[in-house]
Amino acid sequence: MDDLSGLMKLIPIGDIAEKLGIDEGVAEAAVAVAVPAIVGGLAANAKDEGGAKSLEKALGKHKGTTPKRLAEVDEADGEKIVSNVFGAKKNDVALAAASAVDAKGDGLDIGAIVQQVLPIVAPIVLAWVANQFLGGSTKAEPEPAKTPAPSGNPLGDMLGGLISSKQGQDLLASALGGLLGGGRK
């Protein structure tokens, strides 16, 4: 699991575009920044023991539940996930992620689009991470269950590995800056 491509394949881009009434390219661009932002937020929260334990508990609830269609996504759960991951910074994160979107169009509010996309993709991200970390069923990219990491924080190491990918680093370095560094506040 060296990048986010397996996770990105699980996101129903066409369904999201249809739901939001936007072009599929814009939806794809918004998802491409929302997913690494969520993973980065999870990684920031998993840095400390309390955050890692809380995240592991949430992962347990999402193990084996990978929504395949938009109709299967619990957006209310997604809102809770986004709030728990980003706290008071959720709007700032959405706007910062939106600044990385290379989408042009008359009257498009990319920040608002990313804010709408975050709770849609959050349950998919959490389910995918749960299946990768705890072992479970993901058809896109099966991986072995949790492997011990030298730091003693295997969840933090796994998430850190995802955001250290080129795709994750490009977004985190260019758009989100220090917003995710210290977890939520």
Q: How confident is the model over 3-12, as pLDDT tens digits?
A: 677 888 889 9
Predicted local confidence at residue 166, as pLDDT:
55
Domain residue extents for the chain:
5-180
Q: Is 117 exposed, middle or buried (0-12, 13-18, 19+ CB in 10 A)?
A: buried
Q: What is the pLDDT of residue 173?
A: 47
Burial of 55: CB neighbours in 10 Å, binned 0-12, 13-18, 19+: buried
Please give the Cα distance from 90 to 176 (Å, whole number): 11
Question: Which positions ≥6 away from 123 have C-beta within 8 Å?
Answer: 62, 65, 67, 73, 74, 75, 77, 78, 81
Regions of the chain short of the pLDDT cut 50 = 1-2, 138-149, 171-179, 181-185
- Can you give the pLDDT at residue 51? 84
Please count the other Cβ atoms lying within 10 Å of the Cβ belonging to residue 16.
24
pLDDT at 139: 47
Q: What is the pLDDT of residue 138?
A: 46
Tens digit of each residue's pLDDT (9 = 90 or more) over 21-43: 999 999 998 998 899 889 888 88
pLDDT for the residue numbered 75: 93
